[in-house]
């Protein structure tokens, strides 16, 4: 579900070089929107995802997330030494605005442990509007084991966030 940015080498004329793509981290931060929207999932609140904030840049934006959980079917009182216990979340985030523009997103990094995780996702292009809403959705989380013998667990969503840009 990751978008490919750029073009294959074979499609460019020989000897033609493209300028390096400017990373949004090298741009001046234009605005930060504090969101702090929390969504729980499952009857027992197995996972809790929070969209913490949006960082807006000229050519894109970064969505900062916090995730709390152990993955489905895991009892937090189990022995952490068990191979299936420690799993890290991996997920994609979709985004679109009120005008139907879909923003390409890729995981940008993060970390954590002991059921508390922070991740950020990078989106392009820059927001097309200054007001209205942008909508985010996490369709599923893959809880990937960090030890041999552990099982990857899939937790289906969605976790949805609607953010006002005003």
User: Could you read off the pLDDT of 66-107 as tens digits, one per residue?
Assistant: 998 766 555 555 555 554 456 788 889 999 999 899 998 899
* 110-155 pLDDT tens trace: 888 767 889 999 999 999 877 899 999 999 888 887 777 777 888 8
Domains defined for the chain, CATH in brackets: 29-164 (2.60.40.1630)
Report pTM. 0.76
HEC sequence for 89-145: EECCCEEEECCCCEEEEEEEEEEEECCEEEEEEEEECCCCCCCCEEEEEEEEEEEEE
Cα angle 54, 59, 64 (rounded to 5 degrees) comes to 20
Model pLDDT for residues 21-48, shown as the tens digit of each residue: 457 778 889 999 999 999 987 655 567 8
């Amino acid at each position: 579900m990751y978008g490919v940015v750029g073009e294959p080498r074979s499609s460019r004329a020989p000897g033609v070089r493209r300028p390096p793509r400017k990373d949004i981290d090298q741009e001046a931060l234009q605005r930060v929107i504090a969101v702090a929207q929390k969504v729980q999932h499952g009857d027992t609140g197995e996972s809790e995802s929070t969209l913490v904030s949006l960082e807006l840049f000229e050519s894109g934006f970064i969505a900062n997330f916090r995730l709390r959980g152990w993955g489905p079917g895991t009892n937090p009182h189990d022995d952490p030494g068990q191979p299936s216990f420690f799993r890290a979340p991996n997920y994609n985030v979709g985004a679109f605005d009120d005008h139907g523009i879909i923003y390409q997103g890729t995981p940008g990094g993060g970390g954590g442990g002991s059921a508390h995780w922070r991740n950020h996702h990078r989106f392009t292009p820059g927001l097309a509007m200054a007001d209205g809403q942008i909508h985010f959705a996490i369709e599923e989380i893959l809880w990937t084991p960090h030890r041999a013998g552990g099982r990857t667990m899939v937790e289906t969503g969605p976790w949805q966030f609607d953010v006002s840009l005003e």
